[in-house]
Amino acid sequence: MAFSRFAKRMDQLKASEIREILKLTERPEVISFAGGLPDPELFPIRELQLIAVKVLEEHGKEALQYATTEGYRPLRDKIALRMNRTLGTAWTADNILITSGSQQGIDLAGKAFLDEGDVIFCESPSYLGAIQAFRAYGPEFVEVPTDHEGMDIVQLRELLQTTQRAKLIYVIPDFQNPTGRSWTLARRQELIKLANEFDLVIIEDNPYGELRFEGEPIPSLQSLDTEGRVLHLGTFSKTFCPGLRMGWTAADSAIIPKLVLLKQGADLQASTISQRQLDAYLETYDLGEQIVKIVEVYRKRRDTMMEALRREMPADVRFNIPSGGLFTWLELAPELNARDLLVRCLDHNVAFVPGGSFYPNGGHENTLRLNYSNMTEERIIEGIARLGKVLREYTAELQASPLSI
Amino acid sequence: MAFSRFAKRMDQLKASEIREILKLTERPEVISFAGGLPDPELFPIRELQLIAVKVLEEHGKEALQYATTEGYRPLRDKIALRMNRTLGTAWTADNILITSGSQQGIDLAGKAFLDEGDVIFCESPSYLGAIQAFRAYGPEFVEVPTDHEGMDIVQLRELLQTTQRAKLIYVIPDFQNPTGRSWTLARRQELIKLANEFDLVIIEDNPYGELRFEGEPIPSLQSLDTEGRVLHLGTFSKTFCPGLRMGWTAADSAIIPKLVLLKQGADLQASTISQRQLDAYLETYDLGEQIVKIVEVYRKRRDTMMEALRREMPADVRFNIPSGGLFTWLELAPELNARDLLVRCLDHNVAFVPGGSFYPNGGHENTLRLNYSNMTEERIIEGIARLGKVLREYTAELQASPLSI
């Protein structure tokens, strides 16, 4: 019997369904579309070996010692320059805080801006790891209806007009998790206008933006911001590797020092040696080339999955064709429940994440998320065939059941 | 002009004095006793090079991929076994969560247990990084008078009897930061009794316990706990190296899953590759031997500093003789102010941390902390001589000043 006078916030937290499911699907015979993992075959292992030795050889003492909370300045310089080139910002190292993955950027932003009872607006659906991080600070979540162009701005305005204590908008404008959708430029511009009008901070979470399969990049929210109210969260987890836990937050130079104070309390600093290794990698190799390699592989897998879905899914299943990132999103007929479907699928060794998990206020149980980044094309074809078969059986049974009449 | 509607908690946070001072003292001519850094000459750089290559060679894909929030199980096994051997606990891997340094353990404990207005009891003085981490959750701090044997238990009982919403006791029982003092067994036993009686959780922060110069280890609070109310925070920062950010929290198996949920939201997981490297190091080498090396070096430096203090300090300066760890603590005559002394010392290229920073509710400006772990004996001797000279000049001026009459 352990001490159990937990803080009130703990009542709100429950184990992430994705993670519990991932545990069930680790058996090799399961074809799991549930994860969100990059393909480890693409990790630059050999390059990292050379760099690991070099960093310890040349700067071993510094690389293994404590360092500043802000992060290693040459790395912050490189990140600022890279953002300015690819995302249209105008940052220097002083606008960059190195974080433990972009997940930590979400947590620090929540801590910096949210009082209990403040309202967060998020896409419906949204990334559940962000919801989990924010929830610790006691906010209310307002889901904004979101379509293939981004949030419905008319509805967002209406919600803002009737909401007390609106504080923060959390969005993933490029190849969103879970849907794979991106925002149009027009919607981004309108969002910035609304944020200015209602004095809100925007968290632009961008783990997937560089994994674009086709088309031109759309300007980042941060590049459209003229009032220092957009925090941009970046990560090397999808373009380099997640195991080093290297991410960053880019923000106005008046905001970064506040986040630095919070990071000091949270964990003092990101890993010194990982920062130096990443810096040496960016110095020695071309991350752009690495991204081209990743994009080629994932694009083929996306194509394979789309073909398979067209072939195997019943006609009333709607799915998104993502132009980048790791995920696609399915909407089944309204009477179907993806959690029930998952139970049946596990019996046939295929898995996915039920979409209901991605809605902070529940519902939408007829949706599901599929990942295609970490799987051979053969397994994608076989897995979608299994999913289609189980789905047809489930639908048929439901239609035959007296309860459904 | 950036967005500035920060959460209320941000009003309470200010830049850590230690860190601002450290920036001033980076010039090589300054002999700085201000830091709390291990000596990088003792880092096992060569061993880590071999291990870095081996881990990437043998398990590159796994080491660079996402992994579970709890941490790498073989590492958690080793930590549990090591604790059971050295600290008298009876844990398994299920009682261990890998954290980003022990600092993250402090933050997660605060998040798990503290509602706004809850009361934390801490030693007076205490580690200011803990105070900073806890402060984000809006508690009140009650400082408990602390002497060479630990907290004054009689006064703690009185404080508890008159405190509403007592929740948490934060202590560093071995070679405390900032004082270098340790708790006696009797005080530890009495603390556990009080925690049971008043239904409190205890955070036992133990970054220095293994750096013992002489005498027998004193049983850990966690080994004395029979009710699952002690969280033990450990770290490899002082016994191995801080740059990998490897720490852990050990707790009852009913508490760990709650902390895991919070860590998921905070940063998903600790670095996969750092965990695997540390595990391989513990597998391949003897951490105990490494600790013996560190202890031999720091013991000599402690001795050198104590001799120098005896020689150089005015008779009314009191200082602690630590039996381990990185710090000693000075109490000057009550009319002296260590912040003023520091300003004068910086002109003579010697630095320390004024002790007032370590008191959450302020005061005690006649105290200061000295670190001896990251400095040659020559520089310790020279630095303490400078400190003594400046202190004597300062005292003389103060006595000559008309204001002091």
Q: Which of A2, A16, A245 sits opposite B228 (nearest CB)?
A: A2
Cross-chain residue pair B7–A114, CB shorter than 8 Å: yes
Residue of B nearest to A69 (CA): B19
CA B244 to chain A, closest CA, distance in angstroms equals 5
Size of interface A-B (CB pairs under 8 A): 272
Residue A103: list chain B partners with CB under 8 A. 265-268
Question: Does B405 fall in a domain?
Answer: no
Site of tokens 């703990």: A10
Beta bridge partners of B354: B368
**Same domain? A382 vs A280:** no
**Same domain? A138 vs A253:** yes
pLDDT of residue A379 exceeding 90: yes
Cross-chain residue pair A228–B1, CB shorter than 8 Å: yes
Name every residue whose Cβ is closer than 8 Å to that of residue A43 and which is 6 or more positions away in sequence. Answer: A240, A241, B60, B61, B64, B65
Low-confidence ranges of chain B (pLDDT < 70): 1, 16-22, 402-405
CATH number of the domain at B294, please: 3.90.1150.10
- Of B244, B265, B284, the residue that ends a domain is B284
ipTM of the complex as predicted: 0.96
Least trusted range by pLDDT, from A19-23, A265-269, B178-182: A19-23
Name every residue whose Cβ is closer than 8 Å to that of residue B122 and which is 6 or more positions away in sequence. Answer: B130, B131, B141, B142, B143, B144, B169, B170, B171, B360
Q: Which of B56, B69, B244 sits opposite A48 (nearest CB)?
A: B56
Cross-chain residue pair B261–A19, CB shorter than 8 Å: no
Q: Which of B65, B118, B132 sits opposite A243 (nearest CB)?
A: B65
Domain total for chain B? 2
Cross-chain residue pair B7–A48, CB shorter than 8 Å: no
More confident residue, B402 or A347: A347
Mutate: best of B3, B72, B134, partner A, most A CBs <10 A: B3
Q: Which of A43, A118, A167 sits opposite B64 (nearest CB)?
A: A43
- Of A284, A318, A336, the residue that ends a domain is A284
> What is the model's pLDDT at position B17?
60
Alpha-carbon dihedral angle through residues B130, B133, B137, B138, given to the nearest 10 degrees? 60
> What is the model's pLDDT at position A405?
47
Calculate mean pLDDT across residues A25-32. Answer: 86
β-pairing, B353-354 vs B367-371, is antiparallel
Walk across the sheet containing A318-319 and list its strands: A318-319, A327-331, A367-371, A353-354
Cross-chain residue pair B64–A40, CB shorter than 8 Å: yes
Cross-chain residue pair B103–A45, CB shorter than 8 Å: no
**Same domain? A352 vs A388:** yes
pLDDT of residue A117 exceeding 90: yes
> What is the model's pLDDT at position B16?
64
**Same domain? A257 vs A317:** no
Cross-chain residue pair A137–B7, CB shorter than 8 Å: yes
Distance CA B188, CA B220 (A): 8
Question: Does B100 fall in a domain?
Answer: yes
Q: Which of B99, B116, B255 sits opposite A2 (nearest CB)?
A: B255
Calculate mean pLDDT across residues A72-100. Answer: 97
Terminal CA-CA length for chain A: 49
Q: How many helices (H) and strands (E) does chain A have?
A: 14, 14
Instruction: Summarize pLDDT for B170-204 with one digit per residue, the tens.
Output: 999 999 999 999 999 999 999 999 999 999 999 99
Residue of A nearest to B272 (CA): A243
Give the domain extent around B208: 45-284
**Same domain? A71 vs A138:** yes
**Same domain? A253 vs A300:** no
Question: Does B317 fall in a domain?
Answer: yes
**Same domain? B186 vs B252:** yes
Q: What is the mean pLDDT of chain A?
A: 95
Cross-chain residue pair A242–B56, CB shorter than 8 Å: no
Calculate mean pLDDT across residues A163-178. Answer: 97
Instruction: Summarize pLDDT for A178-218 with one digit per residue, the tens.
Output: 999 999 999 999 999 999 999 999 999 999 999 999 999 99
Cross-chain residue pair B227–A69, CB shorter than 8 Å: no
Question: Does B246 fall in a domain?
Answer: yes
Cross-chain residue pair A262–B13, CB shorter than 8 Å: yes
Question: Does B112 fall in a domain?
Answer: yes
Cross-chain residue pair A103–B53, CB shorter than 8 Å: no
Residue B252: list chain A partners with CB under 8 A. 2-3
Mutate: best of B64, B102, B203, B290, partner A, most A CBs <10 A: B64
* In A198-295, beta strands by DSSP E: 201-205, 230-235, 246-250
More confident residue, A60 or A357: A60
Cross-chain residue pair A40–B61, CB shorter than 8 Å: yes
Name every residue whose Cβ is closer than 8 Å to that of residue A254 and which is 6 or more positions away in sequence. Answer: A228, B1, B2, B4
CATH number of the domain at A71, please: 3.40.640.10
Calculate mean pLDDT across residues A64-90. Answer: 97
> What is the model's pLDDT at position A14?
77
φ, ψ for residue B127, nearest 5 deg: -70, 120
Question: Kindly report the CA angle at A150 between A252 and A287, in degrees rounded to 5?
Answer: 55
Residue A115: list chain B partners with CB under 8 A. 7-9
Distance CA A185, CA A173 (A): 10
**Same domain? B99 vs B203:** yes
**Same domain? B176 vs B215:** yes
Cross-chain residue pair A101–B267, CB shorter than 8 Å: yes
Residue of B nearest to A2 (CA): B228
Under a CB-based contact definition with an 8 Å cutoff, are residues B246 and B270 in contact? yes
CA B113 to chain A, closest CA, distance in angstroms equals 4
Residue of A nearest to B17 (CA): A261
Residue B129: list chain A partners with CB under 8 A. 264-265, 268
Cross-chain residue pair B64–A241, CB shorter than 8 Å: yes
Number of Cβ atoms within 10 Å of the Cβ of A61: 15
Cross-chain residue pair B261–A137, CB shorter than 8 Å: no
Residue of B nearest to A106 (CA): B266
CA A166 to chain B, closest CA, distance in angstroms equals 11
Closest-CA residue to B385 (of B325, B299, B307, B297): B307
Question: Does B131 fall in a domain?
Answer: yes
Beta bridge partners of B327: B371
**Same domain? B353 vs B271:** no
Question: Does A309 fall in a domain?
Answer: yes
**Same domain? B185 vs B301:** no
Cross-chain residue pair B10–A258, CB shorter than 8 Å: yes
Per cent of chain A over pLDDT 90 is 91
Helix, strand, coil percentages in chain A from 3-state DSSP, rounded to 5: 45, 15, 35
CA A333 to chain B, closest CA, distance in angstroms equals 32
Mutate: best of A20, A26, A64, partner B, most B CBs <10 A: A64
Residue B62: list chain A partners with CB under 8 A. 40
- Of A237, A259, A284, the residue that ends a domain is A284
**Same domain? B124 vs B56:** yes
Question: Does A2 fall in a domain?
Answer: no
Q: Which two tokens stand for residue A212?
A: 């674009």
Cross-chain residue pair A103–B258, CB shorter than 8 Å: no
Burial zone of A94 (CB within 10 Å; 0-12 exposed, 13-18 middle, 19+ buried): middle
Calculate mean pLDDT across residues A58-79. Answer: 97
Q: Which of A1, A167, A229 sits opposite B227 (nearest CB)?
A: A1
Under a CB-based contact definition with an 8 Å cutoff, are residues B237 and B40 in contact? no
Distance CA A64, CA A60 (A): 6
Number of Cβ atoms within 10 Å of the Cβ of B346: 17
Q: Count of alpha carbons within 13 Å of A205, Cβ hemisphere only?
A: 27
Q: 3-class DSSP state for residue A232?
A: strand
Distance CA A79, CA A233 (A): 12
Alpha-carbon dihedral angle through residues A67, A68, A74, A75, given to the nearest 10 degrees? 90
Name every residue whose Cβ is closer than 8 Å to that of residue A310 and which is 6 or more positions away in sequence. Answer: none
Cross-chain residue pair A267–B101, CB shorter than 8 Å: yes
